[in-house]
Amino acid sequence: MDIKVAKFGGSSVADAMQVKKVGEIIAADPARKFIVVSAPGKRFPDDSKMTDLLYLCKTHIEHNVPFHQVFQVIWDRFKIMIMNLGIDLDIDPYFVEIRSMLENGATNDYIASRGEFLSAIVVSKYLGFDFVDPKDYVKFDENGKFLAEETNTALGEELKKHKNAVIPGFYGALPDGSIKTFSRGGSDITGAIVARAVGASVYENWTDVSGFLMADPRIVPNAKPISRVTYKELRELSYMGASVLHDEAIFPVKEANIPINIRNTNEPEHPGTMIVEEPDPEVSDEVITGISGHKGFTVIHVYKDNMNSEVGFVKRVLAILENYDISFEHLPSGIDTVSIVIATQKLEGILGDLLDDIQKKINPDTLEVHANLALIATVGCGMNRKKGVAATLFNSLYQADVNIRMIDQGSGEMNIIVGVEDEDFEKAIKAIYDTFVVEKALKDKN
């Protein structure tokens, strides 16, 4: 029988009104049997996320400042939610227990996880679903590494016993039973893990946007929604900019070939974005799927005559970066040059020392640094079948008077990355969007 896993993010469970929408979404499709929830998020732009308030309690304790006032804000928020949902649930014993854990040195992970825990208690009561605590099934090793296979088996066996259930996102436990959380936004990962464990036909990720847009709407106000994107394209897109979905949430479902459907709790009739394994040429003839990017990169150019005949040259350069614990984004190279593109933030306070080291150990002919580089990825698995994509892209930037400072094409041939001046970033994205999306649509119409 068809099983769907639905994960609801913080804004979808922010208050009683939102939880009621969740109830309608669940009631609309009986296949939605397993629900994963985040902690309540912001109800309005200046509001606080529950998880942040919980971390704040812990910070108060660490600084020997009374935490009870902040704690009471959290408590009251849940009480109001329960009252407005009209459910018969006494939440006080849970809060008494959490408070005493806090007073007795509870860990950061424990306290942060309580937002999801309480949220799932409330939602399970409201929906009349079972509550399943992931502390017994989502497993980490003693070093905090997530144990995918052990978790899949344990969770799969447990969930078989339930007709339907609500599971808190974001956490599991270490072998000694103590709570361990994923990184921030980690409820998305739990949703994916649950989808794999129950063999879901789809992993629905309900949030407050109707899927991904082809470009950042702050730059391209009417950016078109992406109806379908492959896991690989999404990695390329999300890697370069802020994403709707936690990066690591893709792996468990990709492995099990389960599509992810990004949906909007506030616009449930919208089909959202489907994230799938394989592109479907029948469905789309778009050359590009999306454009994303980021400002704030620095390039270190290393020149040395005959570099190409010197064995191990690049390895020595990269070993220096490793010593500084710095990862890089791109490594375009020429016969006698190699350029290393690094997020500027990672170089703060150490750039001078790093350059001294490269100079000393590599002895390049010249070493140059250019800051203020923005990277833009134009992504689409359709582009490897089409001629002239790069030409069109570069021409559009030329027409927009944007100077391209770096070009790199991923080996999968589904993205072209260009480096431009930070100040040209928005202009470049608009130009690429206009050429590939707006002008193409006009041509198709004529």
Residues of this chain that interact with ligand ASP (CB under 6 A) are 10, 38-39, 49, 51, 115, 169-170, 184-188
Which of 185/364 has CB closer to ligand ASP?
Answer: 185
Q: Which is nearer to ligand ASP, 54 or 213 (CB)?
A: 54
Shortest gap between Cβ of 127 and ligand ASP (angstroms)?
19
Closest approach of ligand ASP to the CB of residue 115, in Å = 5
The CB-nearest residue to ligand ASP is 187
Supply the minimum distance, in Å, between the C-beta of residue 418 and ligand ASP.
32
Q: How far is the CB of 376 from ligand ASP (least distance, A)?
A: 28
Using DSSP, state whether 391 is helix, strand or coil.
helix
Chain-centroid distance, C-alpha 252: 14
Q: Which is nearer to ligand ASP, 117 or 436 (CB)?
A: 117
- How do 290-303 and 366-379 pair as beta strands? antiparallel
Q: Given the complex with ligand ASP, which of 38 and 151 has the nearer CB atom?
A: 38
Would you list the DSSP string of 86-114? T-----HHHHHHHHHHHHTT--HHHHHHH
Which amino acid belongs to residue 9? G
Instruction: Please report how many Cα atoms fall inside a 13 Å half-sphere around the Cα of residue 361, on the Cβ side.
Output: 17
Closest CB to ligand ASP among residues 242, 311: 242
Compute the CA torsion angle 347, 353, 354, 357 (nearest 10 deg): 180
List the one residue out of 255, 251, 273, 258 whose CA is nearest residue 207.
273
Complex with ligand ASP: residue 53 or 148, whichever CB lies closer: 53
- Distance in Å, CB of 119 to ligand ASP, minimum: 9
Q: Which structure tokens are listed for 352?
A: 């001078």
Give the residue with the Cβ less far from ligand ASP, 186 or 364.
Answer: 186
Cα 387 from Cα 376, distance rounded (Å):
20
* Amino acid in the structure at residue 112: A
Q: How far is the CB of 169 from ligand ASP (least distance, A)?
A: 5
Residue type, 210: S
Region of residue 129 (left: phi > 0; alpha: psi -120 to 50; beta: else): beta
Cβ-based neighbour number of residue 335 at 10 Å: 9
Q: Which is nearer to ligand ASP, 187 or 292 (CB)?
A: 187
Minimum CB separation of residue 190 from ligand ASP in Å reads 8
Sign of CA dihedral 316, 320, 321, 325: positive
CB of 121 to ligand ASP, least distance (A): 15
Closest CA to 20 of 123, 165, 90, 114: 123
Separation between Cα atoms, residue 407 and residue 389, nearest integer Å: 14
